[in-house]
Amino acid sequence: MPGRGDRGTPRQKPKDARKTLLRILKYLGKHRITVTLLVLLAFLSNLGNLMGPRLAGKAIEATEAGTGNINMNTVVHYAILMAVFYVGSNVLSFLVNIGMARVGREVARSMRQDIFEKLMRLPVSFFDCNQAGDIISRVSYDVDVLSTSLSTDVVQIITSLVTVLGSFTMMIIISPPLVLCMLFTIPVSVFFTRHMSRKTRPLYARRSRAYGVMNGFAEEMFSGQKTILAYANEDEMNARFARINRDASDAYYAADRLGMRMGPTIGMVNNFGLAAIGMGGAVLYMLRIVGLGQISSFVLYSRKFSGPINEISNIINEIFSALAAAERVFQMLDEKEEPADLPQAVTLEDCKGQVELEHVSFGYTEEKVILKDLNLKADAGQTIAIVGPTGAGKTTIINLLMRFYDANDGKIFVDDREDREYTMESLRRAYAMVLQDTWVFRGTIFDNIAYGKENATMEEVVEAAKAARIHNYIMRLPEGYNTVISEDGGNISKGQKQLLTIARAMLYNTNMLILDEATSNVDTNTERQVQKAIRNLMKGKTSFVIAHRLSTIQNADNILVVDHGDVVERGNHESLMALKGFYYKLYASQFD
């Protein structure tokens, strides 16, 4: 089976297989009654199977050579009993398999729900540091591997344990001397299995990580396919994928190559045991200690005894593969969530829109500080523009305002109260956002515009779309506002997606607004129209605008010029142009 994904590459054993197993059992505990019933049915099924060799021996004893008599009634009697036990056993086995498949499905559903809810509580920093492909791999493939293991391996282990113990007990009852002939195979099998499990477990973990790297790379390439084609860089991407694919294939082969040694080796050891039973049985038969029927039953039980040991050795590989997948799932479930609201946190209601930053410093890592001692005050209804070169820290300011990250030093106030004193949900709901990276989801145009406002009416959505200058385009579509947008808006242009997100913000009536390059994906003519709509949207709202096109922020009340995390200039457009400093040079470079 292909591995599950992770981003690292070094070989590494699961950190705590026992803890992982206990957490899996907690999920199974929700179905304890069903699982207990299924275990009982599996036990009864295997008991029925164990009766077959004993009954076969009895039938052989009824026709044993040398007596000159064949008791057909006895033979038929035992044959009918064997048929009843085997049919009943297989019916119970079928019910157990169906039941465990249902349990595995429910565990997978519950686990996926927990993962998705966890993802909704994780901070933005988690998604900044993890590939989308790796996250998807954990949500889907890793959970599938675990579900499959629960559906099949658990039943197989129960079946194997009952068969091994039952067969061994029956062999002791039939002939203790013959048991001695095969005892040497038991410790050899056990020690070899333990030795191999220690060697295969890290290889399965390595395999999971290698496939995660491949999934992440593939996801990135699919999303950037147009860029790859535009730069005619297919050969380079093929070569890179070939290297990653080779690593994944090598990891897969290394794990399976070692794991596949277990079955044949255990089978060989068991065959030696069977040969010993044959020789020992012949001697005991000649000494008239055991009969042919007993020998026959004993041989059948020895095969039942050795078969599950061989199967368990193979199942162990799949179990460790499932444990590696489960461990990756639980690692995600254990990720640090966004900071909890303070006990005394209050809901931000009727927000006026007064925002102030006092001596704020922040860095995504301790080694690199992005913002240094930033001070900013925005009175209610003011427009604050933030300009500067790429990497200056403009978007970082937005991240701090929305509390996607918390400042390392300093404080941020909203309506004269520190932002940490508000609940996270109410603080973020106080802002409407239009970002450069547009996001639309698979659904109707109506649903996408009404995303932020519960129970929005068609009239409200249409009004917002008209204000965003996209209503006429929508009405030209075959289904109008009921037109379904494909996944990630693949069937509409970037400019149209931008206008939809602007309409969404217009419908989402708040007193604070964030615009991060909100018109970057529209043409110049459309931009003029949208700018009029945005100015209407901004009336009476505290607005924070990030813009590279300086012509769009000339009417801002206050312009912050940021460079390398420092505010190097501030003021309105006229005062900054009069300084003929950094802002003047930026403006001149665009209108030279």
Query: Do both 160 and 219 map to the same domain?
Result: yes
The pLDDT of residue 160 is 77
The pLDDT of residue 532 is 73
Query: Do both 47 and 184 map to the same domain?
Result: yes
The pLDDT of residue 194 is 66
Strands 417-418 and 409-414: antiparallel
Query: Do both 83 and 232 map to the same domain?
Result: yes
Residue 526 CA: distances (Å) to CA of 96, 394, 464: 64, 25, 16
The pLDDT of residue 13 is 44
Highest mean pLDDT among 283-297, 407-421, 525-539: 407-421
The pLDDT of residue 10 is 33
Residue 370 lies in a domain: yes
- Residue where a domain stops, chosen among 333, 363, 382: 333
Q: Encode pLDDT of 546-572 as tens digits.
A: 877 777 788 888 998 888 878 888 998
Residue 193 lies in a domain: yes
Residue 125 lies in a domain: yes
The pLDDT of residue 132 is 74
Q: Encode pLDDT of 155-211 as tens digits.
A: 777 777 777 788 788 878 877 877 777 666 667 766 776 676 667 667 766 776 777
* CA–CA separation, 303 and 270 (whole Å): 8
Residue 573 lies in a domain: yes
Q: What is the pTM (predicted TM-score) of this model?
A: 0.67
Query: Do both 300 and 392 map to the same domain?
Result: no
DSSP 36-100: HHHHHHHHHHHHHHHHHHHHHHHHHHHT-TTS----HHHHHHHHHHHHHHHHHHHHHHHHHHHHH
Query: Do both 233 and 375 map to the same domain?
Result: no
The CATH number of the domain holding residue 580 is 3.40.50.300
CB atoms within 10 A of CB 36: 10
DSSP 429-488: HTEEEE-SS----SEEHHHHHGGGSTT--HHHHHHHHHHTT-HHHHHTSTTGGGPEEPGG
Greater model confidence, 586 or 437: 586
Q: Encode pLDDT of 458-489 as tens digits.
A: 999 998 888 888 898 899 988 899 988 876 65
Query: Do both 307 and 357 map to the same domain?
Result: no
The pLDDT of residue 5 is 36
What range does the domain containing 408 cover? Answer: 353-429+551-592
Query: Do both 319 and 375 map to the same domain?
Result: no
Query: Do both 376 and 266 map to the same domain?
Result: no
Residue 477 lies in a domain: no
Query: Do both 417 and 387 map to the same domain?
Result: yes
The CATH number of the domain holding residue 86 is 1.20.1560.10
Mean pLDDT throughout 3-30? 62
Q: Encode pLDDT of 108-117 as tens digits.
A: 888 888 988 8
Residue 496 lies in a domain: no
- Work out how many domains the chain is built from and give that number: 2
Query: Do both 63 and 110 map to the same domain?
Result: yes
